[in-house]
Structure formats: C-alpha cells, structure tokens
Amino acid sequence: MLGVHDEDTTMLSDLLPAIRRFTYLYDFGDSWEHIIKVGKIGYVDGGPYVECTSGRGMTLPEDCGGPHGYKRLRAIIKDPSHAEYDEWKVWAEYDFDNGFDLDSTNEELRELEFEDQA
C-alpha cells in the first residue's frame, strides 16, 4: 500500500483505512505537495461522507510556477511599484489575503460523485 499511486488507477478507498496520512502531489511540473490527514471514516445514507475540518492557504493560480513561482508572484503583488505589478495583478485575478475557505471547500466536497465500490 505504501509508495506512489497513480490517481487514474487508484481510489482513495483502496488505501483506507490502512493509510491515514499521505502526501498528494498535484501538478508534477510545479510540484505542489499537499499533506492529507484522514479523520473518521463513515457513511451517510449508504454512501461515503466527506468533510474537510481544517486547512491552510487558498487555491492558487494555475501555472504560476510552483512554490518558487508563487513566492515570486506574492512578492510582486505586495509591491505596487514593481515593474511587473500590473501584469501579474491582472493575471492572478484575485485577492491573495482571503485565506482558506472551509465553507467553499466543503461545498465542493458535497458535489463529488463517488463510484460504487460494490
């Protein structure tokens, strides 16, 4: 069970409950690593129930160059006198200081469709 698993061929349910904490690598090119901790596992109305209880940070702009590119983007956005400020502010299209939105995250989780494991 341990090791690397391809998201196209592995269901999270294949790994649970043996694995309760794992690293999810999003976008191999940019190498965004997310630590996922699984709490209780349960079912509601015969199906899985998924709820996020906490998080940190916010959704980042796609293709901003990974963690190093994001750090550079943040520095530019914080400095209106930077030569690239206007270009990057328009490209990023949102406020970086909103933080993690637990309600929005759980709304998206409620919209997930699960495959029947029968």
What pLDDT digit, counting tens, does each position of 59-110 carry?
777 778 888 888 898 899 889 999 999 988 887 776 666 678 899 889 988 8
According to the model, what pLDDT value does residue 115 have?
64
Q: Is the dihedral of CA 61, 62, 65, 68 positive or negative?
A: positive
- The burial of 71, by beta-carbon neighbours within 10 Å (0-12 exposed, 13-18 middle, 19 or more buried), is given as exposed
pLDDT in tens, 17-36: 778 888 888 777 777 888 88
- Quote the tokens at residue 4: 């690397």
φ/ψ (deg, to 5) at 67: -55, -40
Report which of residues 87 and 116 the model is more confident about.
Answer: 87
Place of tokens 């270009």: 87
Give dist(CA 89, CA 105) in Å, integer.
24
